Amino acid sequence: MKKIILTFALFFCLTTTAYATELLMFSMKSCGYCRSFLQEVAQEYKNTEHAKLLPLRIISMDRPQAPEWFDEAFNRQAIDGISGTPTFIIFDGQEVARLVGYTGKDKFYADIARFIKGNKSQLEARVGENRIPYDKETEMTPEQALTESLEASPDRTNRSEVPTEDKPIGPMDEFGEARLPPPGVINSRDLFKHMYKTAEEAVKASHWFGCHGTIHYHEKDDVWMPCSMN
């Protein structure tokens, strides 16, 4: 099985955009692994040394539209799409590194510390530069994100189980478990492989990805695709 954790690459790409370097978390309220991170890390992260160089921002995947800055970066191929949650991206105007999944507090901090150690001088040079634009429709504080998550699954608030590294990433059920696709839906965690000839097929895929039936149409390829972050 493919591992759920993709270790941070120790590299740093300077860009011409004057953005500070930030740690972006893409989260869904129905994602059990997101909930674990929000409970174990997000509440305290702002008080750590890591946050001075890599401040955390939480982006909701439950909203119908992506932030404008995400669409702009995606269109210029500066960031890849999101196909599972939680997804963490180190971003400075373009995607620098990516961590997919969450396997516990210690492993998360170890990955962050390793990245900072390998790129400390470049990260320090970015402190004080412009942050990516704030988007009130999609951005949440750790407290807001945790509240949404707990309200979505009140009977699972004490869940402490986290995924093993050998568990495949993909769309999750309400308890954070990987789910196989229903009949007619492509078995791939890559959202951009999900191209369908009918809107009905795309809707089924959208529900599997947790996008609540939202879809979009690609006129160029004459296909329907699930979700709205494209």
Condensed to tens digits (0 to 9), the pLDDT of residues 155-211 reads: 543 333 333 333 333 454 444 445 577 888 888 766 778 888 998 888 888 877 767
What domains can you pick out in the chain, each with its CATH number? 22-151 (3.40.30.10), 191-226 (no CATH)
- Span 85-110, pLDDT tens digits: 899 999 999 999 998 889 899 999 99
Cα 64 from Cα 212, distance rounded (Å): 9
Rounded to 5, what percent of the chain is helix, strand, coil?
Answer: 35, 15, 50
Contact 43, 145 (CB under 8 A): no
Question: Would you say the pTM of this structure is higher than 0.75?
Answer: no
| Length of the chain measured in residues | 230
Q: Residue 119: count other Cβ atoms within 10 Å of its Cβ.
A: 21
Nearest to 57 by CA among 88, 34, 25, 91: 25
Contact 135, 61 (CB under 8 A): no
Structure-token match 């965690």, residue found? 189
- Span 25-82, pLDDT tens digits: 999 988 889 999 999 999 999 999 999 999 999 999 998 888 999 999 999 899 998 8
Q: What is the DSSP letter of 78?
A: S
